[in-house]
Amino acid sequence: MVSIDGLTGLWDRLFGAQPDPPPLLVLLTAAVALVVVSTRLPWRIARNAVTIAHEGGHALAALLTGRRLRGIRLHSDTSGLTLSAGRPTGPGMILTLLAGYLAPPLVGLAGAWLLGGNRITLLLWVAVALLLAMLVMIRNVFGVLSLLVTGGIVLAVSWYASPEVQAVFAYTGVWFLLLGGVRPVLELQRLRGRGRMPESDADQLAGITPLPAFFWVTVFALVNLVTLAVGALLLAGPILTDAGLTL
């Protein structure tokens, strides 16, 4: 049996606040995330995390709007597919299509809020819980492996790593989601311009609303840029305040 002291220690470890990270850590992790997002090979590898958040956003929106979630597939080329059943038009379908490109930076924003309260371990455990919840809806082998590997890495860091390593890992991940939400939108419009994504989320939204696909791409871009700005203020705001700068 687990002792009361053991449960108390686990509770304190999970919900307790960690020490404030050094300002240099916050800035360096932002720089690392920016390099990953901006360079070809690192982005090609790390983009799987953005795809997981993208498809998770579709799935969550489908469930919240009363659609029947049929399954999620993640592919080795970093693409994904979420299938749901319900009305092909209407608010539920619109929100489900909207959620994909908006999900990664919104997840990053939630992470920035937790980091603002120094809840680093809690952030990592919430990430593991979300990955496990998503795992039950995965319908292909690569998707299962992707979630198991990602979740295993996050769990190992949260359980075995020192507070300093946890902080580096968490801040880098949150910065990556905030910054990584912008690049897929740019890629989407570039591919659309070449006629290579006729069934994109934006084009599907154009098909069920009176608004053109470019309008929806613009919505994706504006929301993600605003989310990035707010998230950056949550993460770097204390540094600016300590430096005597006003936001």
**Would the pLDDT of 139 be above 70?**
yes
Give the residue from 229, 230, 244, 191 showing the smallest Cα distance to 213: 191
**Would the pLDDT of 247 be above 50?**
no
pLDDT of amino acid 237: 74
Cα 232 from Cα 175, distance rounded (Å): 8
Cα 240 from Cα 245, distance rounded (Å): 5
Mean pLDDT of all residues belonging to the chain: 90
Q: Mean pLDDT lowest for which of 1-5, 38-42, 71-75, 86-90?
A: 1-5
**Would the pLDDT of 144 be above 70?**
yes
**Would the pLDDT of 1 be above 80?**
no
Q: In this predicted model, what pLDDT tens digit does every residue of 187-221 receive, in sequence order?
A: 999 999 888 888 899 999 999 999 999 999 999 99
Q: pTM for the whole thing? A: 0.91
Alpha-carbon distances of 18 from 28, 119, 121, 126, 231, rounded to whole Å? 19, 6, 8, 16, 19
Share of the chain above pLDDT 90, in %: 79
Cα 239 from Cα 46, distance rounded (Å): 27
Q: How far apart are the first and last CA of the chain?
A: 51
pLDDT of amino acid 19: 73
Q: What is the mean pLDDT of residues 127-133?
A: 95
Q: Do 96 and 58 meet the contact criterion of CB atoms below 8 Å apart?
A: yes
